[in-house]
Amino acid sequence: MEFVTGVTQRDEWSIAELAGAPEHSRGKIRGAVHNIRDMGEISFLILRRYDGLVQCVCEESNSGVSLRTLKEGATVEAEGVSHREARAPGGTELCLTGLRILSEPVEPMPLPISKWKMHTSLEALLNNRPISLRNLRERAKFRIQETITRSFRDFLYSQNFTEIHTPKIGARGAEGGANIFKLDYFHHPAVLAQSPQFYKQMMVGVFDRVFETGPVFRAEKHNTKRHLNEYTSLDFEMGYIDSFTEIMEMETGFLRYMTEELKKRCEKELKMLEVDLPDVEKIPCVPFTEAKELVRQTYGRPIRSPYDLEPEEEELIGKYFKDACGADFVFVTHYPSKKRPFYAMDDPADPKYTLSFDLLFRGLEVTTGGQRIHDYPTLSRKLKDRGMSEEGMDQYLSAFKHGMPPHGGLGIGLERLTMQLIGEDNVRETTLFPRDMNRLEP
């Protein structure tokens, strides 16, 4: 009988192992052909791997290895001898003694992916996504994105949150409104989740604090630089709060942890993309109406929409607090009740406003959060006041009828957060395979 017992270590170097190997050690390393520089008698073969680039030197007359027919995009196993060389990436190169081809491409690259910057339109990058992502700077964005998600989870684990998986197909949307994708579910009308809102609230009754990192779907009909029709939402919901400030504190705690993790895990990528990590030591808070008024007074911009922030206002609030106290982030609090969903808790001091907030990062909203109504009579009254029916919400409302702690939470748009962190100006740049009104592929 044959058995599998676990991962077998391969007799192969990583880039760190090559760099750490004694001078003139023999070894192997695998990777994709990034580019080849033929200098006549000597050629340089650069391999691309998950952990970076490796320089292999080939002296054809000595080694018997020829790179003449090797193509960009082929994958190979290179065999050779380690050699310290200050000009090689990582400080060590491999002097080739053998080369085994693992796979070969059939067409030349459609984009100059081995260039530092591709100087290609976003449209072309997206149309050739599986190829353009092979570029070092393109893929670096997604290593940063991975670290954001990972640090979100790890921070919340440390704060006693439980991870949940909630359904994306449902009978009705959590947020209401028209921006909802509909589908046929075995001859029943169904929708795609706009957010895990109802589910994460119900789960607060089970685990006190919960989080989810998953896709959400919004059929918004605007094709802007900051909208996606499918995105990854970093959601949490926490019970037993005394004030909605605790939600902002938890987010600030996450952001501080995130920047530490980025420094630790993404040093190379941050440098490659010239990212300035934001200051997250302290984040200023400003009430919605005050923020609007600040912008009107400081920049002479008239208030046109009294219940919501216009994109330009968000930018100017960002600018104001950057200038005033060097802040990259601003919490705008107490949004008008009119523009927040029914489950938002109104401010007892002035019920025209809610105990809610948005987080702006360099002038763009990246988070919406707030305290929720936890008491059934209040929730029921608010639904009634809004002319909404309780029909179809039985299970959600049942959680409140049977007791729910005071609670609140938030949702962070992962791609937007990544975009603002990196300093891109289009959210598609920080989405592996974006979905917008015109883009359903690849």
- What minimum distance in Å lies between the beta carbon of 339 and a copy of itself? 22
Q: Is 391 in the site for a copy of itself (CB under 8 A)?
A: no
Residue 301, SS3 per DSSP: coil
d(CA 290, CA 296) in angstroms, rounded, equals: 10
Quick note: the x/- pattern for a copy of itself over 146-175, rule CB under 8 A, is: x--xx--x---x-xx-xxxxxxxxxx----
Out of 25, 35, 179, 245, point to the residue binding a copy of itself (CB under 8 A). Answer: 245
Q: Is 402 in the site for a copy of itself (CB under 8 A)?
A: yes
Q: Which residue has the tokens 């050739």?
A: 128
Q: Is 83 in the site for a copy of itself (CB under 8 A)?
A: no
Nearer residue to a copy of itself within complex by CB, 6 or 348: 6
| HSE, side-chain direction, 13 A CA sphere, residue 75 | 6
**81 sits in which H/E element:** strand 75-84
Whether 363 contacts 316, CB under 8 Å: yes
Nearer residue to a copy of itself within complex by CB, 41 or 290: 290
Q: Is 39 in the site for a copy of itself (CB under 8 A)?
A: no
Q: Whose CA is closest to 247, among 404, 376, 411, 405?
A: 411
**413 sits in which H/E element:** strand 407-413
Q: Is the N-terminal amide bond of 442 cis, ω within 30° of 0?
A: yes
228 is in an annotated binding site: yes
Q: Is 249 in the site for a copy of itself (CB under 8 A)?
A: yes
Q: Is 181 in the site for a copy of itself (CB under 8 A)?
A: yes
37 is in an annotated binding site: no
Out of 39, 40, 87, 106, point to the residue binding a copy of itself (CB under 8 A). Answer: 106
Q: How many other β-carbons are positioned within 10 Å of the β-carbon of residue 75? A: 17
Looking only at Cα atoms, what is the longest distance across the chain?
86
Q: Is 133 in the site for a copy of itself (CB under 8 A)?
A: yes
Stretch binding a copy of itself (CB under 8 A), from 116-124, 299-307, 308-316, 369-377:
369-377
- What minimum distance in Å lies between the beta carbon of 66 and a copy of itself? 19
Contacting residues for 31 by C-beta, under 8 A, at least 6 apart: 47, 48, 49, 54, 75, 76, 78
45 is in an annotated binding site: no
Out of 13, 152, 217, 236, point to the residue binding a copy of itself (CB under 8 A). Answer: 217
316 is in an annotated binding site: no
Whether 128 contacts 120, CB under 8 Å: no
368 is in an annotated binding site: yes
Partners of residue 36 on adjacent β-strands: 45
418 is in an annotated binding site: no
Which residues in 293-329 are b (16+ Cβ under 10 Å) and which e?
ebbeeeeeeeeeeeeebeeebbbbbbebbbeeeebbb
Q: Is 19 in the site for a copy of itself (CB under 8 A)?
A: no
- What minimum distance in Å lies between the beta carbon of 419 and a copy of itself? 14
72 is in an annotated binding site: no
Binding residues: 175, 218-220, 226-228, 365, 368, 372, 413-416
Binding residues for L-aspartate: 175, 218, 368, 372
